[in-house]
Structure 1
Amino acid sequence: MDEFGMGEHGAVNNPFAYKNDNEALDSSTNRRSAGGSSGGSAAAVAMNMCLAALGSDTGGSVRLPASYCGVVGFKPSYGRCSRRGLIAYANSLDTVGVLARSAKDASLVYDVIAQHDSDDPTSMPTTLQTHIDELDQNLESQWDSDLTNLVVGVPQEYYVDPLSSAVKDVWRNGIRHLRDRGASIVPISLPHTRYALPAYYTIALAEASSNLARYDGVRYGHRNTTVPNDDLLYADTRADGFGSEVQRRILLGTHVLTAGAYETLFLPAQKARRLIQQDFDQAFYSPNALHSEEVETGGKVHVILTPSAISPAPRIDDCIPIPDDNTRVVNAYLNDVMTVPASLAGIPAISVPFGKCPESGYPIGLQLLGPYGHDRFLLRIASVLERYDK
């Protein structure tokens, strides 16, 4: 995993290369990323080292590696699974997710970990879990392999410029497959999606700055013992202990929380987040289980289908930052554009391997988004989507 779950590429190569005949593996320039931050979990599942693995998903850290490595990556609804023992990155976004070979395997693991935990303040109360489970089961029972009467939304805002032609083709094939299974495909609009990426990084980095303040060499973590002056202990310890990407995010997050930037950056990001949540609430046929039952959504879709990533797995050489050149850093942040809206809204999302890039042979995943709390229903629809290759 990337340090503190912050990053797009860790120490693991994409294992799909070892099954791929299109590239020479003796050259480091041909090796590709397993994604981040939970790239190690995705790689372990892809190599059949385990039935399933856990990962932390703050803005796509389970779904992006799943797409790159050709496995299933499931982010449950926020609060469904305990985060106890997890080092917090962004409290309002962090979710424990599942990586598995199939949606069925992911469902088996989810059934085990989706329990209330009194030691996790963000864990969903048992009474609310019971209520949501009833709604979820009622919706799940309506479909099996036949998707007649299921309405799938395709958001126009996800047709972004960085989207590769190979991903677009796989997306079209996914739409065609669900239609062949009986589903109705309708275009929808999620108008505030364009604010998702800046809102996400503003909120996540602000929370990360606060959460990681404890690692100061006095109370927790590494301590630099070579500092001659106690006045420099805090700064030198953190500069010595944190990697460059973590330092970058802490500094940006600290700036967001300053008096001058709080009202101009942090508060607008929170407002944008609420608008994104409302977009999803208004799109889905099923009302948000956290809201009053009297609230009418007016939505018409049961699930939403999007790409999981803007491209297949990138080359590792293209993921390594260049000193004094922030272009690659910004491009790495752009990789999250497909996944962060669901994280901001707290809704369940799952990446399913669906096709391959014709040029490189690397896998491409599609992402299904569902209403809040309807996790098992989303897993059921994902099991139909993944049957395309079977």
Structure 2
Amino acid sequence: MSLLLEAERYVANQSSHLALNAFITHSGRWLGQAKDADLRRKQGKTKSRLDGRLIAFKDNICTRDLPTTCASKSLEAFRSPFNATVVQQLEDAGAIIAGKTNLDEFGMGSHSVHSRFGPVKNARCSDDLSHLSAGGSSGGSAVAVATDQCYLAIGTDTGGSVRLPAAYTGTVGFKPSYGRLSRWGVVAYANSLDTVGILAKETSTVRDAFAVLNQHDPRDPTSLSPPSRSRIASKLELPQLSSRLESAPLRIGIPLEYNVSELAPSVRRAWYRSLEYLRRQGHTIHPVSLPMTKSALSAYYVLAPAEASSNLAKYDGVRYGTHPEGPNSEDESESYLYARTRGEGFGPEVKRRIMLGAFSLSAQAIDNYFIQAQRIRRLVRHDFDAVFRAEHPLTSNASRIEESTTKAGVDVLICPTAPSPPPSISDLMNASAAISPLDAYVSDVFTVPASLAGLPAISVPVSGKGNVEHHADNDLAGIQVVGQYGDDDLVLNVGELLEGCAI
């Protein structure tokens, strides 16, 4: 199929799936670019494997030619004068911007319902035909991929915002190691956790995008430097580690703490099928313990709101954000203007997290909340380091290099992405329903630990029934592969291997 015909098919699907609300803004500049890409293909001069492909971007990633709203009233008039680095990298590789996708406001949510433009609807439906959650906050990106409205989509993952939507929509969602992909031009939620992620239908497509984006960006202070990238490559290519998957069996870890009683039967069956499939491939299964992961979710919902309250302070109606409507009184103080701007510009979930963050950073509470959460975060990372065979490549203790090549550890962890199938949107948005904001936060319980430690993780769809042809089947679950920091290639390899279990 020519790239032009493929682009036409994606755009036609965008029109036919408008009710799912996956996109906030559509691009109208794809036609000429697709024709140019077809010409380059005929001449044998393609720029990359993504040349001529339609790619959607989450609407908290800045684009020069399309508005960036973060699904918030406070940014409804904002237009970036530049492209984010990841946007520019993909455009330079020949990719075509399909549009900007819907999300939870400023990325704060787990179900893509906290949006000024309305909730994103999953293409899968429950038995009573009501729409299910698409996951969040990159729900629009996941639905766009799942319904063939684009070739792949770029989202952001702070505590699971790429992996959870992938699990709910039956797509592949990859969160690279923290610092691998540039965050320059991405509107910040929590700086120490935010990671650009990739959503696609197949791991091979994710790998193509990762190859383009995995570069140092001097404009991003959190981007891994070239020496750090070289150090990661050298440490993870030690003789005992370099042959993993290709010629030697993997040691697969099963986190015992993830086997909770609340795990839905369909998720448990998919998890079991994944482990059994890997065992039949010759890999060995080993139980491991990550005791501090039980506290990871609580720590995350202290740290992330604290950073958010600081990042969003600039939306005051003067520097950023919309100015409140109505005349200002002559004696209106600056603080009152600030309060009006933020009160009218932010939605209820963003306000909730700003208040949580401001409280945890207050002089009275910082020791009991923020500092304690930072300690838990350090212990979570220590738990992961203790179970992986590969040493954390950026640790400063050089004396452990030889020990790391022989210690009995695991290569990757396999666990569910979400503890249950997606809930219905009506239950999430109904004030009288049983699902509270706290219940919604629990959806991230299996994705947050890897985020706190900055580890690479991928969610791959697996069916408990061994059949994923019918995507409305609620038996479909996301299975997560987590690797040591910097071991992104192995995580992608195992994710691709697990795709064989999905059939």
Q: TM-score, normalised by structure 2?
A: 0.72
Alignment partner, residue 380 of structure 1: 493
Q: Give the Cα–Cα distance (whole angstroms) in 1 for the partners of residues 242 and 493 of structure 2.
A: 7
Aligned CA distance change for structure 1 residues 239 and 161 (closer, same or farther; 3 Å): farther
AA aligned to 1:367 is Q
Alignment partner, residue 197 of structure 2: 97
Q: Give the Cα–Cα distance (whole angstroms) in 2 for the partners of residues 225 and 37 of structure 1.
A: 29
Cα displacement (A) at 1:360: 6.7
- Residues 1-390 of structure 1 correspond to what in structure 2 (within 5 A)? 1-10=103-112, 11-17=119-125, 23=127, 25=129, 30-136=130-236, 139=241, 141-144=243-246, 148-226=248-326, 227-228=328-329, 229-230=332-333, 231-292=335-396, 293-295=398-400, 296=403, 298-320=407-429, 322=431, 328-355=436-463, 361-362=473-474, 363-390=476-503
> More displaced, 57-66 or 164-173?
164-173
Q: Which has the larger radius of gyration?
A: 2
SS of equivalent residue, structure 1 residue 88:
coil
AA aligned to 1:232 is Y
Q: What are the Cα deviations for residues 254-294 of structure 1, in whole angstroms up to 9, with x where unaligned? A: 00000010001110100000000000001000000111342
Aligned CA distance change for structure 1 residues 360 and 108 (closer, same or farther; 3 Å): closer
Aligned CA distance change for structure 1 residues 142 and 356 (closer, same or farther; 3 Å): closer
Return 5+ residue gaps in structure 2 as ranges: 1-102, 113-118
Q: Give the Cα–Cα distance (whole angstroms) in 1 for the partners of residues 175 and 499 of structure 2.
A: 17
SS of equivalent residue, structure 1 residue 260:
coil
Cα displacement (A) at 1:9: 2.0
Equivalent residue pairs, number:
379
Cα displacement (A) at 1:50: 1.8
SS of equivalent residue, structure 1 residue 319:
helix
Q: Give the Cα–Cα distance (whole angstroms) in 2 for the partners of residues 203 and 361 of structure 1.
A: 36
Indicate conservation of the 8 Å contact 1:140/1:377, yes or no: no
Cα displacement (A) at 1:161: 3.3
Indicate conservation of the 8 Å contact 2:273/2:501, yes or no: no
Q: Give the Cα–Cα distance (whole angstroms) in 1 for the partners of residues 127 and 298 of structure 2.
A: 36
Aligned CA distance change for structure 1 residues 253 and 321 (closer, same or farther; 3 Å): farther
AA aligned to 2:473 is G
Q: Give the Cα–Cα distance (whole angstroms) in 1 for the partners of residues 301 and 359 of structure 2.
A: 12
Indicate conservation of the 8 Å contact 1:39/1:65, yes or no: yes
AA aligned to 1:294 is S
Q: Give the Cα–Cα distance (whole angstroms) in 2 for the partners of residues 343 and 321 of structure 1.
A: 30
AA aligned to 2:461 is P
Indicate conservation of the 8 Å contact 1:16/1:46, yes or no: no
* Larger RCO (CA within 8 A; separation ≥ 6): 1
Aligned CA distance change for structure 1 residues 265 and 334 (closer, same or farther; 3 Å): same
> More displaced, 275-284 or 359-368?
359-368
Cα displacement (A) at 1:12: 1.3
Return 5+ residue gaps in structure 1 as ranges: none
Q: Give the Cα–Cα distance (whole angstroms) in 2 for the partners of residues 217 and 276 of structure 1.
A: 39
Q: Give the Cα–Cα distance (whole angstroms) in 2 for the partners of residues 333 and 299 of structure 1.
A: 35
Indicate conservation of the 8 Å contact 2:305/2:354, yes or no: yes
Q: Give the Cα–Cα distance (whole angstroms) in 1 for the partners of residues 196 and 183 of structure 2.
A: 6
Q: Give the Cα–Cα distance (whole angstroms) in 2 for the partners of residues 141 and 50 of structure 1.
A: 35
Cα displacement (A) at 1:136: 4.3
AA aligned to 2:308 is A
AA aligned to 1:93 is L
Aligned CA distance change for structure 1 residues 117 and 384 (closer, same or farther; 3 Å): same
Q: Give the Cα–Cα distance (whole angstroms) in 1 for the partners of residues 487 and 478 of structure 2.
A: 21
Q: Give the Cα–Cα distance (whole angstroms) in 2 for the partners of residues 161 and 85 of structure 1.
A: 41
Cα displacement (A) at 1:160: 2.1
SS of equivalent residue, structure 2 residue 486:
coil
Cα displacement (A) at 1:100: 0.9
Q: What is the aligned-residue identity percentage?
A: 47
Indicate conservation of the 8 Å contact 1:136/1:377, yes or no: no
Cα displacement (A) at 1:233: 0.6
> More displaced, 327-336 or 201-210?
327-336
Q: What are the Cα deviations for residues 207-242 of structure 1, in whole angstroms up to 9, with x where unaligned? A: 000000000111111111424323411111101000
Indicate conservation of the 8 Å contact 2:273/2:464, yes or no: no
AA aligned to 2:480 is Q
